[in-house]
Structure 1
Amino acid sequence: MNWLPIEVSSAIALAVAMQALMWMRAMRSVGRAAPDTSSVDGAAAEDCRRVHSAHCGPCRAIKPMVERLQLSHRDLISVDIAQQVDLARKFSVARTPSFVLVEGDFVRWVLLGGQTERKLVARLQGA
């Protein structure tokens, strides 16, 4: 019996299941009280929009975009989860980069993975 198709199918199913679990974990945090971010966001602590991303290959790729957006959204912050592990756990970050909008001390939405500037701006303006 040829096991290769079964092994490949199992690997694909496992990858899809892991992605689905990460997405479900992130969506469970929507509507929950946001953890205290004052240790990393400084001046943005009183503002309503906060976007958090982690340090990874895709994160480094979108870093220039986030820095450009920070010029017009001073309450936009970036968090390196390698340095802020506890904060990442409190936000249930399971995939990087992750974008989290905190408004009124509650998580309003979560975006997983790299985002285009247009999509991120639309989400920030729609908040």
Structure 2
Amino acid sequence: MALESNLARNLEVELPIQPQTVPTPKKERIHTPLTKRIGITKGEKLLISSVLVILFALVAVSISLEITIASTNRTLQDTTTSINESTTINENLEQEVQELSRYDRVYEIANKFGLDMNEENVRNVIK
């Protein structure tokens, strides 16, 4: 029978609670004077310039030493090459002396100029 009545009913419905907006007080800006930037002092300038001069001098000395070392290495290589060439030439000349001083060649030249072998005039030299 409850459905047949047209009377309004009091229903309690829970509504979600909406947060209340509380106005936040605006913060007042406090005026603070800007601090002045202090420039570089004379002592700092002197210190920076002296460090830069020392750094420049070290770089110059380093480059100079590298150039000197490279020059010395080049001279060493040239000297080594010259020594190797001289050694090769000396070995070739020693081989040529050995070939030219063979007994049969010397004997052939002596016969060509009419020289005879005289055992009394021959001296043996031991190296």
Q: RCO (CA 8 Å, sep 6+): is it higher in 1 or 2?
A: 1
More strand by share: 1
Which structure dedicates a bigger proportion of its chain to helix? 2
Q: Which has the larger radius of gyration?
A: 2
- Structure-2-length-normalised TM-score: 0.30
Q: Report the TM-score, using the length of structure 1 for normalisation.
A: 0.30
